Each structure stands twice: as structure tokens, then as C-alpha cells.
Structure 1
């Protein structure tokens, strides 16, 4: 592991531990992180060398709030399990931490090892294209909460959502019609290669959205369904 990766891992571990320790419900936050890493309670218990009931009791609040020693072991256990599986979740969350964003703004930020067709991304998440763009392939994706991003990020911070390249799919969640994301993109240059408005159907999309997308040269699509399903599908794209 390079020094850069080690630093990113350390910052991620600190964020996880801090979030659990400072939470009003440490057990629920611990369970949330375990779920984020797709680790079963049994697998985490095996990694920690305890019985599954111990993990269950902490997460369910049936034991006293875990001290920093327990929290550190849980965090290191989750990271170790993921790294043994290839480190996909560690890299995913570390990128968000490195970019300086809170997790309630950025759900996922990922670079692909090679460009993939936009159509492949759309097929994976069940998206319907409303306007074609100038590019046919993308090199990554970013999934953001549209309300949080638009109300809290400066134009400079918004640009950092592009990660290593603007040649990516930018997915906006918590969309009602799409006016705000499309207007926001008009003041941020350059634009991404593709935009997905998540949570609406084609009929619910703002009527002027396709026209703005065509004017700025990016592909526009909409997708509905649970956010976790979309995130899971995107992880399988590349």
C-alpha cells in the first residue's frame, strides 16, 4: 500500500471512529457502517474474535456504549475484511474523504479503470435517456444529494465533485423535477459528460431539462427506484 493510500485509509478510519463515538446512538451508527461495508454481524464477530451476540448487543444498545478501544477494533475489523475482499469499499469511502465532502453530500465517488459506454451505465441503473450528449463513454461517476450539494457547496467545491475527470456520470439524488440541478450546472464549467436525475420518471422531469442538456452537450437521463439499488448497480459497472 502506498503512503498516499495509507494516509487516505487513516483519515477514513478516523472519520468512522469519530462518527460512531460522537453519535447519540453509537450502536446504530456502528451497524450503519457495517452495512455500508456489506459485512455480516457474524463475519465481523469472527474478525474481532467475539461471539455474534456481542456485536448484536452493541448495535442494539443492549450493552453500554462502546469505548474508544472497542470502536477502534470494530473500525479496523471492517477495514481489514474489506481489504481482504479487494478493498473496494475502502477505496470508495476514502475518495470521498479525500475530496473533503461529508457523506450526506456525496454517496459515492468512483473512477473506472477504463472508460465504459454511457449506455452501459444507464442499463445498469435502469435509466431512461432524455437527451443524448457529445460523449458516448465515461471514466467514472459521482452520486450526490442534490439538495445538500446545491445549498451547501461553493462553485469551487462543486467542481471537486468531478473527481479526476469531468468525463463522468453525475447522479443527483433527492430530485423532484430537476430544475435546480440543471440550473446549477449552467454556472459550473465544464459540465460532466452525463447527468442522471434520480427519483423521478420521464413524465415528472422538468420540461426544459432536455433542452438545457442539449445546449450544454451532456447526456441527460432519469432513473427511479431505491438509492441503495442504484449504488449497488453502479459498483458493478466497472
Structure 2
């Protein structure tokens, strides 16, 4: 990380994405909503009117220069720090693990182990197949398409962080075939897998069988992604 720390790393990443984007306003809006910051809150932090933020995001104002982008990014990070710094820490963990934040949404180790059914209940997950153990000590939440198409098997294994004793959440899933087949080539497997974005009825017919063969718990959840990330962030 070059000693700059996650805040500076993240600031440079956001500013770079906005600057290089073909639609800077849309990219700014993506990051603002990702930080769960309203246009009003960001405007208040920067001491401008909400219409200024709205005009940048809609493209009614010409693309912001680097000075304006820096102020916007610093404003987002300042608001996050005022709220406790959860987003900065989250991205810091992902960046320090060597991943891009559009591949890995969160990667966390817990101070103690947690009972998996309790975690499932908190994220409204329905277990499809039980695993060989019902304790976890961390979680990783990934964009399933980006991870499967961009990560090597070695990088895929690094999703486990410090331990495979964790919950691996695949988001953006339609049937579950691709992520579960991908897990077959990575050993060992995590303790638990959640396929996010589909109902049990839409699950690939062989999903439960693969989970039983490899011994991990398999569950599905349709809770909104931001809500899931916020719930998982409360686990210490």
C-alpha cells in the first residue's frame, strides 16, 4: 500500500475513475450512492447547493475538473469518517488483499467464530444444503461474474483471506451454476456459500448435490446487497 493508507488509496481510486470515465457524472453518482450519501449531505459537506451536485451527476454542468473532483471525493470520505469510517475500512481490507473493489465488495475476519444459522438469519438467507460445520470466522462478498471471469485460481483462493472458515457470498447470481462449478477447481472450499439474488426455486438443479459433495453449507438470499453489506459489517 506504499504507506499511504486505505483512505488515500481509495481517494485516488475514486478520483481516477471519475476523471477517466466516459460519463463522469454517472461515476460520481455510483460512488456517492455506494457510500450511502445523499446529494443533500454531500452538498452540505462542500457548502454548495444540492443543485450543484445534481447538475454534475446529470451532465448539465460540464465535466468537473480535477480540483472539483478532489473536493467531491474528499467530501465523500469526510462524511464516511464522521459516520465511523466503515466504507473506508471496507475498501481498505479489499485493497490490502490485492483485489479491485468491483470484484470484492467486502473481506473481513471476525474476532471470534459465529454460529452460521444466526448469520443466515441476519441476512435472510435460506439454507439449501447443510455443511460439515456450522461456525464461521469471516466473510467475503464478491461480484460473481467479475470474480469468475477475472480471477485466476490462485487469486480465487485468496478470497478466503486468513481462513476458509468463512462465508463466501456470490452476488449477481441467476442460477448458481457458474460459481459452484468454479468452486470445484479451488481446494479447499469455504465453510459456507450464499448465492445472492435468486430464490430457491430458481437454483440450478445440481447445486445442492455439489455442495454436499464438497461439504459446505449452501444458502440463497434476495436481501438487497447494500442491506446485506451493512448487516455483515456489524459482525465483529
- Provide the TM-score with structure 1 as the length reference: 0.89
3-state DSSP of counterpart to 1:107 = strand
Q: Determine the structure 2 residue equivalent to 1:106.
A: 104
Shift of 1:195: 0.2
Shift of 1:92: 0.9
Q: What RMSD, in angstroms, separates the aligned Cα atoms of the two structures? A: 2.1
Q: Determine the structure 2 residue equivalent to 1:26.
A: 24
3-state DSSP of counterpart to 2:14 = helix
Shift of 1:69: 0.8
Distance 2:10 2:206 in 1: 40
Shift of 1:234: 3.0
Distance 1:114 1:171 in 2: 19
Q: Deviations over 1:16-48 (max 9, x none)?
A: 100011111111211211111111222212222
Query: In the superposition, relative to structure 1, how do residues 176 and 228 fare at CA in structure 2: closer, same or farther (>3 Å)?
Result: same
CA contact (8 A) 1:124 1:237 kept: no
Distance 2:19 2:132 in 1: 47
CA contact (8 A) 1:120 1:237 kept: no
- Provide the TM-score with structure 2 as the length reference: 0.90
Distance 2:3 2:114 in 1: 25
After the TM superposition, which of the residue ranges 64-73 and 207-216 deviates more from structure 2?
Answer: 207-216
Q: Determine the structure 2 residue equivalent to 1:136.
A: 134
Distance 2:89 2:163 in 1: 17
Number of aligned residue pairs: give it.
Answer: 236
Q: Deviations over 1:160-184 (max 9, x none)?
A: 2122322211111232322222221
CA contact (8 A) 2:125 2:219 kept: yes
Query: In the superposition, relative to structure 1, how do residues 19 and 210 fare at CA in structure 2: closer, same or farther (>3 Å)?
Result: same
Q: For structure 2, list consecutive stretches of 5 or more residues without a partner in the other structure.
A: none
Aligned to 1:91, which of 89, 92, 98? 89
Q: Determine the structure 1 residue equivalent to 2:156.
A: 158
After the TM superposition, which of the residue ranges 207-216 and 82-91 deviates more from structure 2?
Answer: 207-216
Correspondences of 1:22-61 after superposition (within 5 Å):
22-61=20-59
Q: Determine the structure 1 residue equivalent to 2:73.
A: 75
3-state DSSP of counterpart to 1:69 = helix
CA contact (8 A) 2:123 2:223 kept: no
Distance 1:196 1:157 in 2: 19
Aligned to 2:172, which of 156, 162, 174? 174
Q: For structure 1, list consecutive stretches of 5 or more residues without a partner in the other structure.
A: none
